[in-house]
Structure 1
Amino acid sequence: MKKVLIAVDYNPVSEQVVKAGYKLAQTMGSQVCLIHVVSDISFYGIQYPTFMGYEGYNEITTDLSMAAEMRKVAEDFLKTAADHLNNPSVSTHLADGETAREILNYSKKWKADLLVMGTHSHSVLEKLLMGTVASKVLEKTEIPVFMVPVKK
């Protein structure tokens, strides 16, 4: 396994995921890339007409500078996370879109041999209604996944 892709998010438990994934990559002499996905926020600004008596969407305005600022914050976060490993060969990738899909897409593009992810504690209702990124990735991945169990 020559390439290890480690998925990180803003949750502080991501540090556990990065440490475990990086340690594993070091034992195998693998390249490491940290990936973070910024979810698409543009739909929040869509101007819908009143529907079913609900006017809430009419009050929301799109602020494209907010999206650019979010991306800048994500870039800084990812760079800081990589710098924390004190290894200049660690690369990073920032993606935009649906998290599971973007992780899977980049794992193919980068030709990762192993994907490292954390499993967050979610309520049963959350898992039923929307699933988890980890379960979506596991369902569609074509490469091995190293799951790091993390609790809040």
Structure 2
Amino acid sequence: MLPDVKTILYASDIEEGSRPAFRAAVSMAGHYNAKITFLHVIEPLSASARNIMKTMMNDAALNEMHDSSIVNLKNKLVSRIERFCETELDASEIMQEGQVIPRVEEGASDRVILKVAKEIGADLIVMGTRTHSSVGQFLLGSTANRIMHHTEIPVLIIPLK
């Protein structure tokens, strides 16, 4: 049994098929009457990609595009959360206003997830993991594996197709 859970960090790649992990977070939130921070992490551009972008536009235009992209992504998260709640939750599962907090951060996924979990005082981290080849797991590992090995917070991993 988990200790009292009041704050859940749900980390999502917002890819197709990630709904079962969010459903698990919503279920846990309903069971514990907890808040969910819905986190999406944007991986930074590689140095070569950044240099290519700089040849096409000046720093001000690049910064403006970056900032508007963050706003658009956050709006996409909000729409996605609302759509999920409208289409997939029945009356007994409805989330209260402010119970799901969308958040977009930049950086290495595992580091950002751990940083945000600490920042918000998360009692539980919920995330999905996709099937990868064993060679891929060995060489790169997965974000879920890195999170599990670097936190004291309970982690609920949902296998995704």
Q: Which category of TM-score, normalised to the shorter sequence, fits these structures?
A: 0.7 to 0.9
The 2-side partners of 1:122 and 1:70 are apart by: 29
State the TM-score, normalizing by the size of structure 1: 0.81
Q: Does the 8 Å CA contact 2:127/2:144 hold for their aligned counterparts?
A: yes
User: What is the one-letter code of the residue matched to 1:85?
Assistant: C
Please provide the CA RMSD for this pair: 1.9
Aligned to 1:61: 53
Change (3 A) 1:42 1:71: farther
Aligned to 1:28: 32
| Residue 74 (structure 1) aligned with residue 73 (structure 2) | yes
| Residue 140 (structure 1) aligned with residue 144 (structure 2) | no
SS of the aligned residue for 2:53 comes to coil
Instruction: Name stretches of at least 5 consecutive residues in structure 1 with no aligned partner.
Output: 48-59
Q: Does the 8 Å CA contact 2:40/2:104 hold for their aligned counterparts?
A: yes
CA displacement at 1:37 relative to structure 2? 0.3
CA displacement at 1:46 relative to structure 2? 5.1
State the TM-score, normalizing by the size of structure 2: 0.77
CA displacement at 1:109 relative to structure 2? 0.2
The 2-side partners of 1:15 and 1:126 are apart by: 24
User: What is the one-letter code of the residue matched to 1:96?
Assistant: E
SS of the aligned residue for 1:61 comes to helix
Select 2:49's aligned residue among 29, 41, 45: 45
Q: Does the 8 Å CA contact 1:41/1:67 hold for their aligned counterparts?
A: no
Greater fraction helix: 2
The 2-side partners of 1:46 and 1:77 are apart by: 24
CA displacement at 1:42 relative to structure 2? 5.2
Q: Does the 8 Å CA contact 1:4/1:25 hold for their aligned counterparts?
A: yes
Aligned to 2:127: 117
| Residue 4 (structure 1) aligned with residue 21 (structure 2) | no
The 1-side partners of 2:143 and 2:29 are apart by: 22
Q: Percent identity?
A: 28
Aligned to 2:20: 16
Aligned to 1:99: 109
The 2-side partners of 1:42 and 1:127 are apart by: 22
CA displacement at 1:131 relative to structure 2? 1.0
SS of the aligned residue for 1:142 comes to coil
The 2-side partners of 1:110 and 1:41 are apart by: 26
Structure 1 residues 126-135 or 99-108, which shifts more? 126-135
